[in-house]
Structure 1
Amino acid sequence: MISAVLLDLAGVVYDGESAVPGATEAVGRLRAAGIPIRFVSNTTRSTKRAVLDRLARLGLSVCSDELFTPAEAACSWLREHARSPHLLVHPNLIAEFPNLTGQEPKAVVVGDAGDAFDYRALNAAFRELVDGAELLALAPNRTFKDVDGKLSLDAGAFVAALEFASQTTAIVLGKPAPDFFRSALATIPCAEAEAVMVGDDAETDVAGALRAGIGHALLVRTGKYRAGDETRFEPAPTATADDISAAIDWILAKRSETE
């Protein structure tokens, strides 16, 4: 039984400012079939509003409550635990953390800060950690597909450096944290075993979803995918598809088998 689909965005639905070929139509086919969709992105360089605007420019109408981002999860965590953020994030993302400063104790929030990952910024975060701050990782991704088409370092390497130096274990808020997948499904609602995840990252999207109890996880050969990714991490993908269109073909065929 397939009752919901979780879709990654970068590398699956869009690549930079362009839609992945067939992506708009693929999402439309899911909606026409009456299958609820939640978009679960680990992007930490753009605000939620900016992501929604990008999708709209690509011809995809996505409601705010259909999109889940790590920054949103971090704000909820900070409010719940009465923490003030020390931000080590991309300048574009700072606007996602309004009215959360000034209270103690603190939590270091790490995203893909890009060029802001310099020694001074990393050392300031380290000093907060040794003074007792929690470490929040918006996403632990190793790499992302950069604008030149090549892989670049993502936030995961910097999170690992701060963990090592401060002897602290990060609290991961985006994928592959089980609660991130579950919070998206809770809004449908849908049991984890009845959902399918589609992503281009075999580690955080696919293996992470399966470890969280998601029934199926499909790896697409677009975005950051590189040959052999389907065998690099456990659990292995339920299936590997050429792109989102082929992934939706698989989902619709699988769903028809159980109806």
Structure 2
Amino acid sequence: ALITNTTRSPRRAILEKLRRLGFDFPPELLFTPSQAVRNELEATGTKAYMLIHPNLREELGDLEGPPFEAVVVGDAGEAFTYANLNRAFRLLMEGCPLLAMGRTRYFREPDGLSLDVGPFVAALEYAAGVEAVVLGKPAEAFFLAAVRVLGCEPPEVVMVGDDVDSDVIAARQAGLQALLVRTGKYRPGDDEKAKRYGAGTVDDIRAAVEEILR
């Protein structure tokens, strides 16, 4: 299964990219925050104010109000304007629940690290005095949904990722095994954090596969 916290690309685009890379990935084994949001809103019949990236409109646009009965926040990129954040804040103050597509603090782009959705969720929580319902990583339910589809128990599944907090520590707290890879977002010292939670560290995906197959 592939558990991704990207909230800038729809499932369609992620699957297309995987195919271009030579992976014919089954859609049912791709777990994204946008799908988690759709499941939540459809289950409750809720329309939301969407503070999300424009690329996700094709996937979630039909679930946007008015009326606005919840606030959904993803990595909105350039859409994180004062006006949009303030509109979300006002809806929260009126009693709308806050649904976060993740708590990831940052991600790596070609030119360096960039803020992810987590800091903006934290700002809205602080300003409105509310606590977000997290539907992507590092939420335990996000990991366990993938485990159920695989037909396994949590200790039988290994989470491999480059984010020590959202991938590795969160997976361990959900009962999975985990390996941190020294690629992407990895920063010196992360391996010590992973070790404290009983997770190992390897150089890359190839090394992770070799470690798992031992």
Q: TM-score range by the shorter chain?
A: over 0.9
- Equivalent residue pairs, number: 214
CA contact 1:210–1:235 (8 Å) conserved in 2: no
Tell me what 1:91 maps to: 54
Contact 2:159 2:178 in 1 (8 A): yes
Q: Find the partner of 1:142 among 105, 109, 113.
A: 105
Q: CA deviation at 1:81?
A: 1.8
Listed as ranges, the matches of 1:143-182 within 5 Å are 143-148=106-111, 150-182=112-144
List runs of 5+ in structure 2 lacking aligned partners: none
- 1:200 corresponds to: 162
Q: Does 1:187 align with 2:169?
A: no
Residue 49 of structure 1 pairs with residue 23 of structure 2: no
Specify the alignment match of 1:218 in structure 2. 179
- The change in CA–CA distance for 1:151 and 1:79 in structure 2 (over 3 A counts) is same
Q: Greater relative contact order (Cα 8 A, min sep 6): structure 1 or 2?
A: 1
Superposed CA deviations along residues 13-45 of structure 1, whole A, max 9, x for unmatched, are xxxxxxxxxxxxxxxxxxxxxxxxx00000000
Q: CA separation in 1, counterparts of 2:69 and 2:157?
A: 36
- TM-score normalised according to structure 2 size: 0.96
Distance of aligned partners of 1:187 and 1:147 in 2 relative to their CA distance in 1, 3 Å threshold: same
Give the alignment's Cα RMSD to 1 decimal: 1.4
Question: SS of 1:106's equivalent?
Answer: coil
How far is the alpha carbon of 1:234 from its aligned partner? 7.9
TM-score normalised by length of structure 1: 0.79
> Which stretch has the larger CA shift, 84-93 or 225-234?
225-234
Partner in structure 2 of residue 252 of structure 1? 213
Unpaired segments ≥5 residues, structure 1: 1-37, 254-259
1:202, 1:237 within 8 Å by CA — same for their partners in 2? no
